[in-house]
Structure 1
Amino acid sequence: MADERPAWLPDGNDIETSFNLEIGIISPSMRGPWFDFNKVVDSDTTNFKYLVDEIVDKFSCGYGDVVKLFYFCADSKSNIEIHSDQDLMNMFAKHKTSKCCRMSIAYHKPDVDPPEIPLWDNVEIPCTPSMPDPSYVEPSKATQLGTVT
């Protein structure tokens, strides 16, 4: 029996401890309501502070913004805020079977309420193929004969 590796799992990563994080960034300063990306992490070596720092370094927030991290719990149909390494470990434990965690990170100014975090069940992912269908151009009689008009 062959060991089936998920397509999202990079070579060399342990399937037992790796998780695919589907992360959506929500910020009032963004053009659209949502920006999403995927990140594969090892639950044995990932900690809360470094995960947040890595995301903020790659997708910077505004000066002085507050950053909050949430995960979607399918059982309670709610977004649960992550404050610590223990909360992160609880998230991994709840998603041990699926190996996929849906997360949201919210950026906002300290003097305003945080943006509303949409429930992942209600988020419509737009269908935008990464590669368009190739178009095949039929040669015309002019190009076949070597004449251009």
Structure 2
Amino acid sequence: MDPNSTYLIEIRLSGNKKRVRKDFRCFCFDMTIDLDLTNYKDFVEEIVEKYPTGYLEIAHVQYYDHDMKEFSEVHSNQNLVSMFEKNSKTKVVDMFISYCDPSKPFEPIKEWHSDVQM
């Protein structure tokens, strides 16, 4: 892996809000990826393969933009590249992945209450 294009992604994976346990907010894990070798579709498939969705659920990807102080959605390769460019100094991305029912509208994360400072 090229150190200039390698990033650490700190992922918080939350399940379907209707099915998840109330005392369990999310599952956290780290992942190292090489931007030169990764595209959006393969990235999401790799996560869903390791941590499967429920029946017919869809994975929605967001990241925390520390400069804009907001949660931005990632839908494409262009969004993925933009996300990494914004985090090029630290090489660390705070990412949120939500598994949701496709028949319901996706409710993006607007704020995150956590004991851990972002």
Superposition TM-score tier, normalisation by shorter sequence: 0.7 to 0.9
Aligned residues: 112
Q: Which runs of 5+ in 1 are unaligned?
A: 1-12, 126-149
Shift of 1:115: 5.1
TM-score, length of structure 1 as denominator length: 0.69
Helix, strand or coil: the match of 2:2?
coil
Is 2:9 aligned against 1:21? yes
* In 1, Cα distance between equivalents of 2:45 and 2:106: 19
Mark the structure with the bigger radius of gyration: 1
Q: Which runs of 5+ in 2 are unaligned?
A: none
* In 2, Cα distance between equivalents of 1:62 and 1:110: 11
Identity of matched residues, %: 32
Shift of 1:92: 0.7
In 2, are the aligned partners of 1:26 and 1:117 still within 8 Å (CA)? no
- 1:111 maps to 103
* In 2, Cα distance between equivalents of 1:73 and 1:60: 26
Shift of 1:116: 5.3
Query: Structure 1 residues 105-114 or 43-52, which shifts more?
Result: 105-114
Give the CA RMSD over aligned residues. Answer: 1.6
Kindly tell me: are residues 39 and 99 of structure 1, through their superposed partners in 2, closer, same or farther at Cα, counting changes over 3 Å? same
- 2:53 maps to 61
- 1:123 maps to 114
- 1:145 maps to none
Q: Which has the higher strand share?
A: 2
- 1:80 maps to 72
Higher-RCO chain (CA-CA 8 Å, sequence separation at least 6): 2
Helix, strand or coil: the match of 1:91?
helix
In 1, are the aligned partners of 2:8 and 2:91 still within 8 Å (CA)? yes
Shift of 1:90: 0.3
Shift of 1:114: 3.2
Cα shift readout 1:13-41 (whole Å, capped 9, x = no counterpart): 32211000001111222331111100000
- 2:34 maps to 42
